[in-house]
Every structure is written in C-alpha cells, then in structure tokens.
Structure 1
Amino acid sequence: MSLPRLFKPFQQVHGASVHPLLTKWFESELGQELLEEEQDILDRVLPSMFGYHLVQTGIGRPHWLAGTSTIHNKLYVSEKPQHHDQYRCVCSRLDELALATESVDVAILHHSLDFDSSPHRALREISRAVIPGGRIVIVGFNPWSIWGLGRFFLMQTAGMPWSGNFISPYRLSDWLKLLDFHVEGYESTAFGLPTANRRTRKLFNWIAYLGQRIWQQRGGVYVLVAVKQVSTLTPIKPRFRTVKDTLVNIPIAGIAKPSTRHQCNPGSSSES
C-alpha cells in the first residue's frame, strides 16, 4: 500500500503553467537540437506504419513530428485550441480522451506521459483508442541516462524538463504489457551533456561519442514503438457425453398376451 506524497509532482502544483514553460524550453538551443534528433528517428519509423487515422499528443506549443507518415487523416490532441495547416486539433485531456474506442491506427505521444499527473491513466486511454494491430509511438525522457542523472540535481529548481516524470522504458514496457501491447522496438538519442552552453557541450563531445557506441540504450530521450495485440477467439469443443443405449431387451415370448374375449351376441344365451 502506497501513502500519499507530501510534495506533489511539479505538473500537479503548477497546472497549466507547464505548457508555456516547456514551450520556452523547446525554443532554446538545446531544445531545438533535441527536436531534430527526435524527428530523425521518427522519420525512419513512421513511413512503415499504415492506416487511416493518426493522432499526436504533446505538451506546450505543438511540434508536428508526423510529416513523413503516409496516413491521410491526422489529428493533434491538445488541451488548448491550436491552428495549423498540417493537422486538425481535438481539444481534450489526455486522461479523458475524446476519441472513439478502437478508432486510431497510430498514436504518437511526444513527452505527454512525462508531464501528465496520471501517466498510467493517460496511457490506458490511448490504448483504448488504438485499434487491434495499431501502434503507439512514445517519446520520453530516460531516467537511466546522463540526463536522468542531472535531473536529480535540477528537479528541485522547478525547471524544465527536469521536473517531469521521467518514466523508465522498462517500467513503461510493463504497463504496455498489461494493456495487451507488445514492444516492437526501442531507440534512444541525446547522449551528450544536458547543458544549454554550446561550448561546454563541444568540450565534452567525447561523452556523446562513447554513449552512442557503448550505452546505445542509455540516451537522454527514447522512442518506443508498441503494437496492440489482436485478440483471437479459440473455439473450444464442448465435451458432450455420448448417450449410450440403456434399454434392456426384454424377450417378447415371456410377455403374457391379453385374454381372448368372446364376441357378445344379443340373442345368444350364456348358458350351455
């Protein structure tokens, strides 16, 4: 049994202020470099996914990452109205998703679970909307990385993105397994130091070089793809008991025949 936390997560305390703060961080030099690396991975993943409807979610100002997808109908789920030429916006909370059940072929979660107050419930809502055989593409911050290590020193400053959830991909895979999803693949990026100082990043560029070759799944950001399992019904033959012949053959010769009655004539006498 878990007890209630004394210090609430950052996104619960500040509420809607998470959106402008994260938008500002993605507009920084470090945030722009991270978006380019994430876009590079998604550009290699999305063209192989087909269907009729694609949904992308995110926090803050929308960063449309599904440009290389061949799916025609594309939606962006946001808590605030958004206007863009590449997508149509659906105003909805992620944990109360205003989408029909089994109506989405591909769902992209761009750091949505990192800054949601109830990420497990949000993931359950997304899984409800995905059709059997559909895919979920999750982009999130990796706690088992240099970025995750720096989070322990920066999360108390209420800065972005260090105050997010930073859900482990292994924990996330367990959640997906409970929702009947199978993890197809996993890639990570952002192996350098999480600092906005360009000179410092270049000075320690050798860390990113080693990370790409030694810690290939320990990047600061991961992209995880999972497919929803198709539920099949296996017919089970009913175990009917064969009805055997339980009748006993009785010989007819031993059965007494009914007595023969004389025909009654009105004019005849019964006396001899």
Structure 2
Amino acid sequence: SSALRFLFGAAMLVYLEWRLAVVSLVILPGMVLAVRFFSRRMRVLSHQGMEQQAQVSRRMQESLSATSLIKAYSSEKRTVSQIMSELEEALQISLEGVSVGSLANLTIGILPEISRAIVLIAGAYWIILGEWTLGSLLAFQSYLGYVYGPAHYLANAGLQVQGALAALERVSALFDIVPEETGTGFPVQRLHGEIEFRDVSFSYDSQEPVLENVSCRVQSGENVAIVGPSGVGKTTLISLLLRFYQPTIGEIWFDGRPACEYELSSLRQRIGYVSQSTLLLS
C-alpha cells in the first residue's frame, strides 16, 4: 500500500506541475544518501556500545567474585576507578549514538521541509503571475505527503534496524566458531617434550594481534620461563599450546609433528597444566 501511495502521489505531482515535481523528487536521493551515511555510523556505535556493555558486565562480575582478594590487597580504590572508567566509556558511546541518531532524524526530517518551502515560494510566485491557482498549490502540497510519508517511514526504519543488525553480527560470530575436532588425528601415547613455534601469530578479534610472528624451540627436558607485563600474551601462548585456540598464522609442533595432526584429547592428557585461576571442582 505504501508503494502504491508513493507512485500515485508522484504521478499526481507530475500531473499538477512537472517542474516542481522534479524538484521535489530530487530530494529523495538525498534522503537515501543521508540514511546510508548515518546507518553505517549508527551500526558501528551500536556494536561498540554492546561490546562496552559486555566489558562493564565482565568487570563487575570479576570484581564481585574476587571481593576478598581485592580487600586483601587494599585495591578497592583501584577497582572502583576501573569500573568507573568502563562506565564512563559506555556512557560516552551511548551519548555519541544518541547524538548521531538525533542528527540523522533532523537531516531526514528537514529535507522534505526544504522541498515544501521551495514549492510554496515558487507556487506563490506563479499564483501572483496568474500562471497557477491556489487550489493547485494546496493539492500539490497535499500530494507531497503521499511521496514523503512512505519515504520518511522507510528512512526511519532503516536507521532503527541498525541496532538489531549490530546485535545480529554479535550472535552470528558465535555461530562462526568452529567446534573442536575430537576423536580424529594421531593418538598420543607419549610426548618427548620438544615444542616448536613456527611464525605463530594470533588475534582474538582479527584486528589487534596479541602474538605476532613468534618463532622459538624448546628442547626436551629444557626449562623455560616466559615473563612479561600483563597483556603481552603469556596466557595466550599457553592456550595455544593446549589448542584452546588455533593460531591465526603459523603452526605449533610437538616432537616434530604439527599439533593439528594429534588427537586433541590425548594430546591434552600428556600436558601438565596449572591454571592461574584457583578453582576447586566438587
């Protein structure tokens, strides 16, 4: 019905005055460009907002679950400062999203009004010259609603759906995760202990690399300590050894054989692992 309303309105505009109809219809591509421009920005902001809200929830859960540890080290002020920083960033993203949405609605709403003003000025001038009638001008203004009404509705719908698309991208990322392959590969009876990283790179988000071009070899019986500040990839390195994640680039070898050729469960059974987080399973 909206499409028929739009086509009927456009036809009547051309019938009443084709010159003003051309001016009025030229506004529509401008609305399309405005929607495309603001939609991309709103989708990015919606995605960033959801990621930041997840970060805030993670920080809150982490702090509440480690209350005794935080008190033991007198880290209350530092923890509160971190939580407030995360909340401020989430608020900043939210305010930016509201600003962009308001500007988008203002732009989409003002374009039809510019067209109506042009029609009113030109129509009034032609009426004074006797080239047009007041009834035709009023009818033309009325049929503008037939054209701009559906266009404005579609533009608003296109903007509002960006939040849903951002959420869908986050859900789709879960379905893109490849499940672990168990029960296939070479079963591990014993490991001699030789480990080799061959140009291993890894990133959690496919944008910022955590490890980049790591190459090293650990001989059997050799003791190696990996030290560094928080966030440099020490835990990630061990997670790659246990094949919790797959390297983005490169390979990890055990005893002269790529790790991907071993049966996963038997490989993990031959690796001693002490987690950095304390957890007792009943």
Q: TM-score range by the shorter chain?
A: under 0.3
Higher relative contact order (CA 8 A, sep 6+): 2
Question: 1 or 2, which has the higher strand percentage?
Answer: 1
Larger CA Rg, structure 1 vs 2: 1
Question: 1 or 2, which has the higher helix percentage?
Answer: 2
TM value normalised by structure 1: 0.20
